[in-house]
Amino acid sequence: MAYESLLAFAIVFFAGLLFYSARNGQLDGPIRNLFQIYLAAILGIYFVGCWHRGGQTLAMKTWKLRLISADGGPPSIRRAILRYMLACPSIALAGTGLVWAVFDRDRQFLHDRLAGTRIVMSDKQPPAAQVSPVPLETKRPLGAGTDRP
């Protein structure tokens, strides 16, 4: 959660900087509301895109977690948007939707239960380094084969 928060902060920071620069620092009145909607949309694009594309955000890849739908694949765009829309109030209301997992029989967050998604451990492991062993007969003792007298 903390790692995901750092990534979300970076995304919001740079997106906010672009908006702020485009407005020459003027965020008064209804522009402030537009700015907040813009930032929520930018975060939504990040999360929904990652969840739909492969079921993982960068932080989820690090922790080997994957978001799946009922069929076991990555969620559809519609399901990913629904999860994002449900996760926002779930987290904003003092993390009520996260605490829900403590009492849920399947340990699902409230927004996952309502959206029909589930977080599972990813079974994809990075490929092991392909190192071919050196045959013993090609190894030379130390000092052998040098051009020194």
In a domain, 135, yes or no: no
pLDDT at residue 145, rounded to an integer = 57
In the chain, the number of structural domains is 1
**pLDDT surpasses 50 at 128:** no
In three-state form (DSSP H/G/I as H, E/B as E, the rest C), the secondary structure along the chain is CHHHHHHHHHHHHHHHHHHHHHCCCCCCCHHHHHHHHHHHHHHHHHHHHHHHHHCCCHHHHHCCEEEEECCCCCCCHHHHHHHHHHHHHHHHCCCHHHHHHHHCCCCCCHHHHHHCEEEEECCCCCCCCCCCCCCHHHCCCCCCCCCCC
Tell me if 143 is assigned to some domain.
Answer: no
Q: Is residue 32 part of a domain?
A: yes
The pLDDT-based confidence of 32 (bands split at 50, 70, 90) is very high
**Residue 133 above 80 pLDDT?**
no
For residue 138, tell me if it sits in a domain. Answer: no
Residue 30 in any domain: the answer is yes
User: Considering the domain boundaries, does residue 149 fall inside one?
Assistant: no
Q: Which residue has better confidence, 2 or 43?
A: 43
For residue 74, being part of any structural domain is answered with yes
State the residue range of the domain holding 46. 2-124
Residue 136 located in a structural domain:
no
Confidence of residue 42 (pLDDT cuts 50, 70, 90): very high
What is the structure's pLDDT at 3? 87
